[in-house]
């Protein structure tokens, strides 16, 4: 199997692109925290890894002014969405490229900083990936990325409820790392990965906040289908997720989702 092939197939499914604006209602709450650690400055060149629909990338582009930002994502459809958003907003100092930051060379460097908002948990060779990102930075360049803490601290994530309906993923091949939303949840293990990839001055800051969102920002039937749940199982799977989320439901039908995430920082 090729590099990151499972994730390459997953993120190029058009259903993810269609659902992306709904998911952003939840994840965009983290952007301000991430930028406080990244500290993008006028004139800098920044690499955004796993740039998705480009929301964070566009915020960085505004901060660097005469500088530039490259958003790199493994998903062609998401890069197209982000490119369209940049054009609509009239932002000219940002470029989106289809690339796997785990292994590909990305034009536009050397960069002063690299960042990611929930985009680095899907590397099946994380030491190689973080090492490749480091090679794109100027000496002393900064890294700041946000990822989820462990699943137990994010009880809104539907994996537990869906376990009876979804076959467990096969064990990774030798030398590969499990991927998924909480694959970097162990802070000590993630710091060790960064050190093994050659990063220095590694820092870590955990955060917890509660955000109010609509039900489909957390997940919907399209997500269940994408996970391989058959149509005749959808009602039972949906009911299981609803039961898990019930403690977070408000009388008005919105949900108060308790997010536990963390920001890592380092220098090249």
CA distances from 70 to 60, 73, 91, 130 (A): 10, 10, 12, 17
Phi, psi of 114, deg, nearest 5: -130, 150
**Which pLDDT belongs to residue 75?**
93
Instruction: Give the count of beta carbons closer than 10 Å to the beta carbon of residue 210.
Output: 12
Rounded to whole angstroms, the Cα distance separating 111 from 249 reads 43
**Which pLDDT belongs to residue 10?**
73
- CB-CB contact of 86 with 94 (8 Å): yes
**Which pLDDT belongs to residue 1?**
45
Can you list the residues of the chain whose pLDDT is less than 50?
1
**Which pLDDT belongs to residue 4?**
67
- CB-CB contact of 148 with 261 (8 Å): yes
**Which pLDDT belongs to residue 176?**
84
Supply the mean pLDDT for the chain.
93
**Which pLDDT belongs to residue 189?**
97
Sheet-wide strand order for 200-213: 94-98, 68-73, 45-49, 111-117, 137-148, 255-267, 200-213
**Which pLDDT belongs to residue 3?**
64
């Amino acid at each position: 199997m090729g590099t990151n092939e499972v994730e390459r197939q997953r993120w190029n499914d058009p259903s993810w692109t269609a659902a992306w604006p709904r998911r952003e209602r939840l994840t965009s709450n983290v952007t301000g925290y991430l930028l406080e650690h990244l500290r993008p400055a006028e004139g800098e060149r920044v690499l955004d890894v796993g740039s998705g629909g480009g929301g964070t990338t566009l915020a960085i582009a505004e901060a660097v002014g005469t500088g530039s930002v490259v958003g790199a994502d493994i998903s062609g459809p998401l890069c197209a969405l982000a490119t369209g958003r940049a054009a609509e907003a009239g932002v000219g100092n940002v470029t989106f490229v289809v690339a796997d930051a785990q292994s590909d060379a990305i034009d536009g460097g050397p960069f002063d900083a690299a960042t990611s908002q929930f985009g680095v948990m899907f590397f099946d060779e994380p030491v190689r990936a973080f090492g490749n990102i480091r090679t794109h930075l100027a000496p002393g360049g900064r890294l700041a990325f946000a990822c989820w803490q462990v699943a137990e601290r994010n009880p809104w994530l539907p994996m537990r409820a869906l376990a009876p309906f979804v076959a467990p993923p096969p064990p990774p091949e030798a030398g590969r790392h499990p991927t998924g939303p909480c694959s970097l949840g162990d802070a000590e293990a993630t710091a060790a990965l960064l050190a093994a990839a050659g990063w220095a001055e590694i820092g870590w800051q955990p955060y917890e906040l509660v955000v109010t969102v609509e039900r489909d920002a957390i997940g919907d039937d399209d997500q269940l289908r994408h996970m391989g749940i058959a149509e005749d199982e959808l009602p039972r799977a949906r009911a299981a997720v609803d039961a898990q989320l019930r403690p977070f439901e408000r009388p008005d039908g919105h949900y108060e989702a308790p997010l536990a995430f963390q920001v890592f920082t380092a220098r090249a």
